[in-house]
Amino acid sequence: MSSQTNLQNEDIDRLIAGTHWDPRSVLGPHSVTVNGTPALVIRTWLPYATQVDILSTQGPPLRMARIHEAGLFEAIAPSEAQVRSYRLRTTQHDGSIVEQSDPYAFPPLLTDFDLHLFGEGTFYKAYESLGAHVRTVDRITGVHFVVWAPNAARVSVVGDFNRWDGRCHPMTNRGATGLWEIFIPDLPEHTLYKYEILARQQDALLVKADPYAQASELRPRTASIVRDLSRYTWHDEAWMTERAQWNPLTAPLSIYEVHLGSWMRVPEEANRWLTYHELAQRLIPYAKDLGYTHLELMPVTEHPFDGSWGYQATGYFAATSRYGPPEDFMAFVDAAHQAGLGVIMDWAPAHFPDDPHGLATFDGTHLYDHADPRLGYHPDWHSRIFNYDRAEVRTFLINSALYWLDKFHIDGLRVDAVASMLYLDYGRKSGEWIPNEYGGRENLGAVTLLKELNVLVHREFPGAITIAEESTSWPGVSRPTYTGGLGFTFKWNMGWMHDMLDYFGHEPVHRRFHQNQITFGLLYAFTENFVLPLSHDEVVHGKRTLLDKMPGDVWQQFANLRALYGYMYGHPGKKMLFMGGEFGQWREWNHDTSLDWHLCDLEPHHGLQRLIRDLNRLYREEPALHEADFDWTGFQWIDFNDADNSVIAYLRKGTTEGNAMVCVCNFTPVPRHGYRIGVPEGGWYREIFNSDAASYGGSNVGNFGGVHSSESPCHAMPHSLTLTLPPLSVLFLKRQPG
């Protein structure tokens, strides 16, 4: 039936059927002419109402007439002034009475400029508009919802507040942008919600979590949660100011990689996780005591499956609820900064899972990925690959990255699986992939995304870093975009990691045949800004822990691991170690259980902790070990040819003359007495680090604190040192002034 204000039947039919792209054109207040007289018509659609009254401060209650049995009501006010602002008093089917403001009385909040930026892919603060945000409009507080679903016939916000009924709050479409929005007054923070989407092509009804949600329910529940994060007060001004002046390339960077859910648990309380607050109280002091400069957190973005470790995310803007609300994660980062620790976050833009509440077929189409499985399906992880060629998808991913740096003060992003993003044929056989427009295998959309991301991060957040997990020889990963690079600050040195673990896996008697593995990394060490990673990937899936990879008896296993760590800290490149490696975990990492902390009460596990603490201290205090990590001026071979003894020696140099460090490595269990190496200057060389020290669990063979050089040339140098090389050891020696 039609209304007394000549509302078109087709408008009513589309509204009731849930296919009206602009419900505001029907609902809410509208100026009309009745019998030649200007008036105001107000319509509302309340499926559960039996009676509706308009309450206004300008006049008495105005009863609304039901103009459709589905719950469409209408009233005409003689003048706009009579109902300048109003509320709706609704009598429900169950007899209850509810007062509420009318969502359709409020204008759209997205500006034309917002729509323009979103359309061209430069809406770099879309996270402040898209999603759910607490707003105050005309002195009425509520929640503004915005979602991108260009192929939907209708999108509604559903939640407890409307009985999860998509008929109640249909959103308004903002035209060609594909954005839908609605302001729902009176909704409080912590409201649970999702989007009900009527797919245009399949006529299917989908219920999806908010891609831009700032909080989510704990799995297995999947609703999004309205959160207002603007009220958190930060206390890290000193850190943020100092970070902006920080040069990460010349500063010490020692990273402790952590999975928050298994670093430590509470076994007496059903093996529960620690909360963000508890982690701040335990993890931060622990990492600080060991001398690390940064924590790297495996993904804290919301994810439905624990076994994905966070790398298959459904909430790219939501800190996982496993450990508490997002404000508590803010407090964790804040506490780290106040303790002098940076926080790096793993971020996974390579793929996403196909959980029905997530991004997959979001509006009934392959909105965020490719429909063709040769482009859109990830064979290694059985997940979906983002469509990096779509400006809106790039906006989504870039906004996710910038959001964590902006709102959570994250100091850096370690971008996961970059190689899988860069290559269209990654993990695929011939015929299973589609070349790019030039016939190549490079994913040009991914290249564009990564370059844009790195430019924005370094421009907008001075001192913040980006790290690429990139395992191929793609050129210029950590070179500026203006020189043709991808623009990352650092790149994981996967080649060094594989060479080291393979070399140390050999029995020492056979290492003479593998000397090149120890030295090969120096051929390319300065082609990128490398991080030396001993990550979680190397201690799972039957690979065994670092300690368990080492050959020999238990004493030799610990000695080998101490030597590996010593060589890592002496080698050019920033450092990264996964949790448990610092004390010698025997069992492979299991995301469902805590680390074996009882081992720290035992020697030599405790000794290994002392070694890491001392290495981190030396690394920070000695400029030679970190200032020139990415230039040949910071490194000089003394001798790399002694394969028969599996010994190498080299110099590390800072930017100031006279602060060079002599590093000598003996990778066999045989002590070497009277071993001579060349040095560039004469004097007393103090032994400032010996991985075989008794305090670390070693045999305490060494050089009694240091040695005097002689004027006997050696290794093409004018002076030399005659040393005792402990078994399976690394020595650092430094010339003393005077």
The alpha carbon of residue 406 and the mean position of all alpha carbons in its chain are separated, in whole angstroms, by 13
**C-alpha angle 631/250/707, rounded to 5°?**
75
Tell me the C-alpha distance between 353 and 222, whole Å.
Answer: 14
H or E stretch at 290: none
Helices 391-407, 444-460: axis angle to 10 degrees equals: 30
Residue 533 has a pLDDT of: 98
Q: From 614, 517, 530, select the one nearest 565 (Cα to Cα).
A: 614
Return the half-sphere exposure (C-beta side, CA atoms, 13 A cut-off) of residue 625.
25
Residues 79 and 135 in one domain: no
Domain boundary among 103, 125, 155: 103
- DSSP β-ladder status, 490-492 and 465-468: parallel
What's the chain's Rg over C-alpha atoms?
Answer: 31
Q: What is the distance between the alpha carbons of residues 503 and 548, in angstroms, rounded to a whole number?
A: 14
Q: Which of 74, 102, 302, 416 is catalytic?
A: 416
Catalytic, 537? Answer no
* 539, 587 contact by CB (below 8 A): no
Residue 32 sits in the same domain as residue 117? no
* 671, part of any domain: yes
- On whether residue 513 sits in a domain, the answer given is no
DSSP state letters, 199-249:
ETTT--EEEE--TT-S-BPPTT---EE---GGGPPP--HHHHHHHHT--TT
Q: Does 486 reside within a domain?
A: yes
Work out how many domains the chain is built from and give that number.
Answer: 3
614 assigned to active site: no
Alpha-carbon span 592 to 279, nearest angstrom: 17
Composition of the chain by helix, strand, coil, percent to 5: 30, 30, 40
Domain match, 78 and 146 both: no
Task: Determine, yes or no, domain membership for 335.
Answer: no
The whole domain housing 91 covers: 9-103
| CATH number of the domain encompassing residue 237 | 3.20.20
Secondary element (H or E) of residue 714: none
Length of the chain, in residues: 738
Helix (H/G/I), strand (E/B), else coil: 481: helix
Tell me whether residue 296 is in a domain.
no
Catalytic residue among 210, 411, 469, 538: 469
The CATH number covering residue 638 comes to 2.60.40.1180
Q: Where are the beta strands (DSSP E) in 583-679?
A: 635-639, 647-652, 661-666, 672-679
Q: What are the two backbone dihedrals, phi and then psi, of residue 317, each rounded to the nearest 5 degrees?
A: -125, 5
The first and second tokens of residue 200, run together, are 């245009």
Which of 103, 121, 149 is the C-terminal boundary of a domain?
Answer: 103
Q: Are 120 and 204 part of one and the same domain? A: yes
148, 120: one domain:
yes
- Establish how many alpha carbons lie within 13 A of residue 659's alpha carbon, considering only the half-sphere containing its beta carbon: 16
**DSSP type of residue 173:** E
Q: Is 442 exposed, middle or buried (0-12, 13-18, 19+ CB in 10 A)?
A: middle
Which pLDDT does position 392 carry in this prediction?
97
CATH code at position 99:
2.60.40.10
Side chain identity, residue 277? H
Residues 93 and 183 occupy one common structural domain: no
Domain-embedded: residue 524:
no
pLDDT in tens, 527-583: 999 999 999 999 999 999 999 999 999 999 999 999 999 999 999 999 999 999 999
User: Quick check: 326 and 333 in contact, CB under 8 A?
Assistant: no
Residues 135 and 147 reside in one and the same domain = yes
pLDDT at 58: 76
The whole-number pLDDT of residue 516 equals 97
43: which 2 tokens? 């319509």
Q: Which tens digits make up the pLDDT trace of 379-403?
A: 999 999 999 999 999 999 999 999 9
- 129 with 172, same domain? yes
- Distance of alpha carbon 584 from its chain centroid, rounded? 27
Helix (H, G, I), strand (E, B) or coil at 378: strand
Place of tokens 């965020």: 368
For 621-639, give one letter per residue: b (16+ CB within 10 A) or e: ebbbbbbbbbeeebbeebb
Distance CA 497, CA 517 (A): 10
Specify if 24 maps to a domain.
yes
Task: Report pLDDT for 80.
Answer: 63
112-120 vs 391-407: helix crossing angle, rounded to 10: 110
- Both 725 and 654 in one domain: the answer is yes
| Whether 341 contacts 331, CB under 8 Å | no
Classify residue 680 by burial, with Cβ atoms within 10 Å: 0-12, 13-18, 19+: middle
The beta strands (E) that lie in 71-148 are given as: 72-77, 86-92, 97-101, 131-137, 140-148
| Contacts of residue 689, Cβ cutoff 8 Å, sequence gap at least 6 | 566, 614, 615, 618, 730, 731, 732
CA distance 135 to 695: 59
Tell whether 128 is covered by a domain.
yes
- pLDDT under 70: residue ranges of the chain: 1-6, 79-84, 202
- Same domain membership, residue 248 and residue 114: yes
The rounded distance, in Å, linking the Cα atoms of 474 and 469 is 12
Q: Are residues 651 and 712 in the same domain?
A: yes
Q: Do both 320 and 464 map to the same domain? A: yes
CB atoms within 10 A of CB 127: 23
The residue out of 61, 82, 103 marking a domain boundary is 103
